Structure 1
Amino acid sequence: MQYLNWLVAAFSLLPFSLIAQDNWQQTLKTQLEQMEKASPEKWPPHVKTLKNLAEQNPGEWLLQYYAGWAATQLSFRSSKSDAESLCDQAEPFVKRALELQPENTETLTLMGYWLSARINAVPTRGATLGEESRKYAEKGIAANPDNPRAWLVKALNIYYTPKLFGGGKQKAKSAVDTAGDKFARFKPSNALAPNWGQQVYDMLLANYK
C-alpha cells in the first residue's frame, strides 16, 4: 500500500511539471503573437509580462532572451527619454540569456543588438560600444552563418558607424545584401524560435532605394 501511494504521488507530480512548462510556453507564444500585431505604444504591458515570466523561470534561457529582446526592441521604438530606461530594463535578461547559452547564435546576436540600442539611446557611446556590438554580431555569424539577425546587426552597426571610422551606407551594402539573402532563406525551427528582424531589415533596405 505504501508503494502504491508513492507511485500515485509520483505520477501526479509529472503532469503538473509538464503543464507548468506548457503554461509558460503558451503564454510566451501568445505574447509574441500579440506584440507582432501591436503598435509600439501598446508594447509596455507585454514587455512587463515577459519580464515577470523570465523572473519566475530564471533557468529558461528562451524566456530571458525574449524579455531582453522585447525591452531592447521597444527602446529602439521609443523616445530618447524612455530609450535609456528600457535598455536598463533589458540588461539583466540579455546578460542572463547569454550566460545560459554562451555559444548560441541568437544570444550572441541579441547582446550585439542590445549594445546598439544603448548607442541609439546615447549616441556618444558609439565610440566605445560600436566595436563591441560588431564583435558580438560576428560571433553570432560564426556560431551560425545562416542567422539573418546576426547579419542584420552587423549591417546596422556598419551603416550607422561614421564613414570616417570605416562605416557608412556604401560600406554596409554587402552585409545588408547578405542579411536579405539569409532572411529570404530562413525558417524558424519551431513556433518559439527567434524569428524577428524582417521589418528592421526592410526599413534599412529602403534607404538603398
Structure 2
Amino acid sequence: MKKSFLMAGAALMLSVSAMAQQFTDVLSKTFEAFDTTRVQEKKLEASNKLNLIAKKFDGEWLAAYYAAYGKVGLTYNESDGAKRDLWLDDADTYISQAVSVLGKDNDETYVMKAMIANARLGVDPKSRWQKYGKVFEENLDNAKQLNPDNPRIYLLRGIAKFYTPAMFGGGKKTALPYFEKAKSLFAARTDTDITKPYWGAATNNYFLGLASTEDKE
C-alpha cells in the first residue's frame, strides 16, 4: 500500500513538472514571436496566442501578465483610438487576473499598470494627461518601493520624459539619465528566463541612442 502511494505521488509530481515545462516553453516561444516582429499582423497573431495561454493556464499569473503585455504592445502601431482603447480594456482585465492569482500586486504588475496608463494617455494626450499621468506615476512609485532595481521602471519614466516637451520638464537631456540607469540594471540581469520578466532592454537601447544625440539648431 505504501509503495502504491509513493508511486502515485511520484507520478503526480512528474505530471505537474511536465505541465510546468509545457507552460514555460509555449509562453517563451509565443512571447519571443510577439516581441521580435514589427509586422502588426504577426503581433496580433502572437497576442491572440498569448490570450489562449492565459485561458489555458489561468492559475499562472505570468500567463495573464504577458497577455496584458501583448495587448499594450498592439496599440503602438495602431492609429484608431477606439481600437486601442478596446485592447487596453483587455489589458486591464488580464493584469487584474494576474493580481488576483498572485493575491497582491508585485513590482511587475505595477509596472504593467503604469504601461497601460501611459498607453491610455497616448490615445488622447490633451484630455487624458491629468488622469492617466497620475496613474502612471503612482504605479511606478509603487513598483519602485517594492523593487528599485527593476529596470522597466526607469525605461518607462525615460520614455515619458522623452516625449514630454522641454518647457514642461521633459526632452532628451531629462530622459537620458533614466535610460542610462535602466541600461545598467538590464546589464545586471542577463538571464532570459520567461518566468522572470526581462523585456525592455532593446527598447531602452533604442531610446538611449536617440536621447544621446544632440538636436540640430
Q: TM-score, normalised by structure 2?
A: 0.81
- Which of 130, 134, 156 matches 1:131? 134
Distance 1:155 1:55, change over 3 A: same
- Which of 140, 143, 146 matches 1:140? 143
Q: What amino acid maps onto 2:27 in structure 1?
A: L
- Rounded to whole Å, the distance in 1 between the matches of 2:137 and 2:71 is 20
In the alignment, what sits opposite 1:32?
Answer: 31
How far off is 1:144 after superposition? 1.8
Q: What amino acid maps onto 1:151 in structure 2?
A: Y
**Where do 1:113-128 residues align within 5 Å?**
113-123=115-125, 124-128=127-131
Q: Which moved more, 1:115-124 or 1:62-71?
A: 115-124
- Rounded to whole Å, the distance in 1 between the matches of 2:11 and 2:75 is 44
Q: Which moved more, 1:37-46 or 1:186-195?
A: 186-195
Distance 1:180 1:62, change over 3 A: same
- Rounded to whole Å, the distance in 2 between the matches of 1:8 and 1:201 is 50
Asked whether the 8 Å contact 2:152–2:182 carries over to 1, the reply is yes
Asked whether the 8 Å contact 1:148–1:186 carries over to 2, the reply is no
How far off is 1:62 after superposition? 1.0
**Where do 1:62-77 residues align within 5 Å?**
62-77=62-77
Q: What amino acid maps onto 2:33 in structure 1?
A: Q
How far off is 1:89 after superposition? 1.9
- Rounded to whole Å, the distance in 2 between the matches of 1:94 and 1:158 is 25
**Where do 1:148-163 residues align within 5 Å?**
148-163=151-166
Partner SS for 1:85: helix
Q: What amino acid maps onto 1:48 in structure 2?
A: N
How far off is 1:68 after superposition? 0.6
Q: Which moved more, 1:144-153 or 1:185-194?
A: 185-194
When the two structures are aligned, how many residues end up with a matched partner?
A: 208
Sequence identity of aligned pairs in percent?
25
Partner SS for 1:22: helix
- Rounded to whole Å, the distance in 1 between the matches of 2:68 and 2:194 is 18
Q: What amino acid maps onto 2:32 in structure 1?
A: E
Asked whether the 8 Å contact 1:67–1:90 carries over to 2, the reply is yes
In the alignment, what sits opposite 2:106?
Answer: 104
Q: TM-score, normalised by structure 1?
A: 0.84
Asked whether the 8 Å contact 2:24–2:194 carries over to 1, the reply is no
Distance 1:191 1:59, change over 3 A: closer
Asked whether the 8 Å contact 2:176–2:208 carries over to 1, the reply is no
Gap regions ≥5 residues in structure 2: none
Asked whether the 8 Å contact 1:130–1:161 carries over to 2, the reply is no
In the alignment, what sits opposite 2:196?
Answer: 193
Asked whether the 8 Å contact 1:138–1:154 carries over to 2, the reply is no
Gap regions ≥5 residues in structure 1: none
Q: Which moved more, 1:82-91 or 1:129-138?
A: 82-91
- Residue 182 (structure 2) pairs with residue 179 (structure 1): yes
How far off is 1:74 after superposition? 1.9
In the alignment, what sits opposite 2:44?
Answer: 44
